[in-house]
């Protein structure tokens, strides 16, 4: 009698243990596979892909792929307009990586995730729309971390057109999408004047938040008096939020050994005869650290005036290359860079990939 009680107790305990473990087995099966951890490079290399903009007025989307010895890291620097270009590039990258791992038959299996790090220079449509419409909602990816500049304190009392203020329009939308689709993502919203160093899967990065908010106080007065002194109230109401967010662009500097690339967002530089615009101030504060082999030309290249400060040994090395990210900018930034003896490429011609390794930097056009 004693033995049979013991046996039934044992059986019940065993059943209980099994019942508890079953969901674990099921859960274990559904645990996503992080592709990045499966890819280890023999030699470290940074691959920087500036994505094509042939039919768009302006769009900034760049992938920085860090081929590390322990894993692969994919940084999306802005995502550009919501036209699918950046999403497709990432989906194709995931596919190619899976094929290289012998997982070609599993490409449609969304359990295999490509992990991304997102970096946002500022919250304008031509930089973040793709993140909202295609990348954050996609189950092909998981987001490790997202880095963003501080929000402007520009008033929302109707003085300015709120629909042009990306910090109202896109910032909360992106934070909501992160919360909904990838709640475990680390969100880093920097403070004004803050810098942040990051170790990458290979190489290093440093983030430079805007020095001050151009949407309040003397900075806002500067924008109104220097750029909108004409007294056109409607133009000011409409354009000031755009200009403030551009001026508040956060910078990213990525380096491997002696070579580096700098992302400047849409930092303001409209006046050739001034040296106190947002670009001038950031360059003066950080030029010794950020001087690079490749510089994403500020504000896509639609203005010629950033050419002089980026070239004259502030941001770009003597034999460096500037990258213009819009069609039609050859006449603006391009001719001025040429006059200053500086090379440039434009993503109007196709995607440009730069390979940075211990030997230096090489550039490839993918039409």
Rounded CA separation 127/245 (Å)? 12
| Residue with smaller CB distance to Zn ion, 126 or 130 | 126
Q: Minimum distance from CB of 347 to Zn ion (Å)?
A: 13
Rounded CA separation 239/234 (Å)? 9
Could you tell me which stretch among 84-92, 237-245, 266-274, 286-294 binds Zn ion (CB under 5 A)?
266-274
**Beta-bridge partners for 50:** 62, 352
Please name which of 65, 73, 66, 68 lies closest in space to residue 49, comparing C-alpha atoms: 65
Q: Minimum distance from CB of 248 to Zn ion (Å)?
A: 13
Which residues 50-79 are close enough to bind Zn ion by CB under 5 A? none
N residues, the chain: 367
Taking the mean position of all CA atoms in its chain, how far away is CA 193? 19
| Residue with smaller CB distance to Zn ion, 128 or 316 | 128
Could you tell me which stretch among 37-45, 191-199, 263-271, 279-287 binds Zn ion (CB under 5 A)?
263-271
Query: CB of 282 within 8 A of CB of 304?
Result: no
Please name which of 339, 300, 296 lies closest in space to residue 315, comparing C-alpha atoms: 296
**Beta-bridge partners for 119:** 77, 147
Q: Minimum distance from CB of 34 to Zn ion (Å)?
A: 32
Q: How many residues bind Zn ion (CB under 5 A)?
A: 2
Phi and psi torsions of 67, nearest 5°: -85, 90
Rounded CA separation 58/242 (Å)? 14
| Residue with smaller CB distance to Zn ion, 121 or 342 | 121
| Residue with smaller CB distance to Zn ion, 89 or 266 | 266
Residue from 78, 213, 266, 348 that binds Zn ion (CB under 5 A)? Answer: 266
Residues 6+ apart with CB under 8 A from 242: 124, 164
| Residue with smaller CB distance to Zn ion, 47 or 78 | 78
Q: Minimum distance from CB of 122 to Zn ion (Å)?
A: 8
Q: Minimum distance from CB of 127 to Zn ion (Å)?
A: 5
Q: Minimum distance from CB of 77 to Zn ion (Å)?
A: 12
Rounded CA separation 169/122 (Å)? 12
Q: What is the DSSP letter of 212?
A: S
Which residues 99-158 are close enough to bind Zn ion by CB under 5 A? 126
Could you tell me which stretch among 85-93, 161-169, 262-270, 321-329 binds Zn ion (CB under 5 A)?
262-270
Q: Minimum distance from CB of 204 to Zn ion (Å)?
A: 26
| Residue with smaller CB distance to Zn ion, 57 or 88 | 57
Q: Minimum distance from CB of 306 to Zn ion (Å)?
A: 13
| Residue with smaller CB distance to Zn ion, 18 or 57 | 57
Phi and psi torsions of 318, nearest 5°: -55, -40
SS3 92: helix
Rounded CA separation 110/142 (Å)? 10
| Residue with smaller CB distance to Zn ion, 113 or 296 | 296
Could you tell me which stretch among 105-113, 149-157, 189-197, 261-269 binds Zn ion (CB under 5 A)?
261-269
| Residue with smaller CB distance to Zn ion, 44 or 78 | 78
List helix spans (H) across 101-214.
Answer: 125-130, 166-169, 171-181
Query: CB of 182 within 8 A of CB of 114?
Result: no
Could you tell me which stretch among 78-86, 140-148, 258-266, 317-325 binds Zn ion (CB under 5 A)?
258-266
Q: Minimum distance from CB of 302 to Zn ion (Å)?
A: 9
Please report, for residues 44, 79, 258, the alpha-carbon distance to residue 349 in angstroms, rounded to integers and kept in the order given. 28, 19, 28
Site residues, Zn ion (CB under 5 A): 126, 266
């Amino acid at each position: 009698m004693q033995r049979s009680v013991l046996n039934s107790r044992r059986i019940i305990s065993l059943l209980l243990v099994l019942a508890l473990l079953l969901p674990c087995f099921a859960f274990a099966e559904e645990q996503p596979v992080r592709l990045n951890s499966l890819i280890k490079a023999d030699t470290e290399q940074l691959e920087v892909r500036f994505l094509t903009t042939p039919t768009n007025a302006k769009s900034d989307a760049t992938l920085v792929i860090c081929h590390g010895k322990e894993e692969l890291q994919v940084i999306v620097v802005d995502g550009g307009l919501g036209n699918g270009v950046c999403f497709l590039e990432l989906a194709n990258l995931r596919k190619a990586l899976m094929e290289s791992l012998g997982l070609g038959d599993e490409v449609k299996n969304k359990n295999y995730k490509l992990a991304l790090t997102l970096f946002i220079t500022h919250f304008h449509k031509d930089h973040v729309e793709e993140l909202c419409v295609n990348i954050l909602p996609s189950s092909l990816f998981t987001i490790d971390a997202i880095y963003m500049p501080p929000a402007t304190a520009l008033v929302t009392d109707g003085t300015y057109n709120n629909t042009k203020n990306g910090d109202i329009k896109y910032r909360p939308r992106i934070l909501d999408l992160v919360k909904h689709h990838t709640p475990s993502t680390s969100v880093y919203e920097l403070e004004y004047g803050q810098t942040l160093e990051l170790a990458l899967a290979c190489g290093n990065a440093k983030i430079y938040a805007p020095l001050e908010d151009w949407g309040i106080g003397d900075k806002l007065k500067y924008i109104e008096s220097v750029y909108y002194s004409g007294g056109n109230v409607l133009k000011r109401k409409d354009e000031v939020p755009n200009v403030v967010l551009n001026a508040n662009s956060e910078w990213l500097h990525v380096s491997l050994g002696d070579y580096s690339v700098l992302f400047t967002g849409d930092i303001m530089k409209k006046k050739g005869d001034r040296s106190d615009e947002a670009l001038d101030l950031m360059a003066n504060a950080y030029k010794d650290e950020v001087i690079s082999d490749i510089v994403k030309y500020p504000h896509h290249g639609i203005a010629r005036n950033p050419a002089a400060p980026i070239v004259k040994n502030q941001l770009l090395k003597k034999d460096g290359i500037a990258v213009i990210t819009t069609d039609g900018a050859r006449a603006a930034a391009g001719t001025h860079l040429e006059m200053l003896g500086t090379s440039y490429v434009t993503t109007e011609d196709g995607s440009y990939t730069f390979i940075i390794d211990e030997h230096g930097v090489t550039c490839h056009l993918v039409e």
